[in-house]
Structures are given as C-alpha cells and as structure tokens.
Amino acid sequence: MKLYYKKGQISIDAVLAIMFLLLISTLIYYNVFNTSKSFKNAELADRLYSIADSFENYALLSYSKNVTISMELKPIGLKSYTLYFGNKSIVVDTTRTIFFIPTDKGVNITGDILSSSGKNLNKTINITYDNSRYYILKNTSIQIQ
C-alpha cells in the first residue's frame, strides 16, 4: 500500500494550530491582566472605606463618651489622599494627627494642617486619592465640624 500526501498539508495544519493557540493565549492573558487590575482597584476602594469607617467610629466614640480622641492618618503607599469633612480638609502625604473634640452639636476636629475646603459636608466624609481619580463618599450619623 502506497500512501500519498498532499504537499503543504502539514504546514497549513501547523500554522492553523499555532494561530489558534495564539488566539486562546491572548484571551487568557487579557482576562488575567484585567482581573489583576480590578483586584488592585478593589483593594484601594477597601482601604479608602476602611479609613472613612475608622474616621466615623472615632467621631462617634468621641461624641458618645464625651472624650477627646486622637487619630493618626498615614498615606496609602507612596501616594497621598485628601480627606474632606465639615468645611475642612486635610492632605495626608505624611503621618498626620487629628483630634476629635466632642461638642453639644457633634464633633469638632482639629489637628495638623487642617485647611478650609470651601465645602459644607456636615454629615459626609469624602476621600479623594490619586488627584481625584478615585474617591469615596460616606454619610455619617453625626455632625462633623
């Protein structure tokens, strides 16, 4: 029995197989890289909400126990963030200390390098990160001045 092969058949099959593998690899790499990017964004959002939750918890504790409490704010990695509350803001580019002082209407916050924000966020905390590329808003149950 004599076998006859068409010339070039093996090379076309090999080229098609390689193209198929490249297509599948591209789709897998695309999904992996996008997933890792969303994990990074989710971790950042979680960190920002954690800061906002701690801020609110310190304010509530200060008001309910009628004591002055200090809180240390640290930057996230090498990048700074800006925390807006009441009509004040603080840029956290190095370690900053703020104090929660209870008043009859809520909590007054004083500390390192507080500046006027021009906003009126009495019951809201706003944190912006990476030049306002990312931000979160959190409503609080206590008035912050």
Going by C-alpha positions, the residue among 86, 73, 98, 70 that lies closest to residue 125 is 86
β-partners of residue 127 are: 83, 136
Q: What is the pTM of this model?
A: 0.74
Residue that is written with structure tokens 């990695």 in the block: 77
Residues 6+ apart with CB under 8 A from 92: 73, 74, 75, 80, 81, 82, 83
Taking only the tens of pLDDT, the chain with its 145 residues reads 565 666 656 677 888 889 999 999 999 988 888 888 888 888 888 999 999 999 999 999 999 999 999 999 999 888 889 999 888 889 999 999 999 999 998 898 998 778 887 777 778 888 888 877 888 888 888 888 7
Compute and round to an integer the Cα radius of gyration of the chain. 27
At residue 124, the pLDDT reads 85
CB 121 within 8 A of CB 89: no
At residue 2, the pLDDT reads 62
Return the domain boundaries, the chain.
9-139
Helix, strand, or coil (residue 100):
strand
User: And the tokens for 49?
Assistant: 């909400």
At residue 70, the pLDDT reads 94
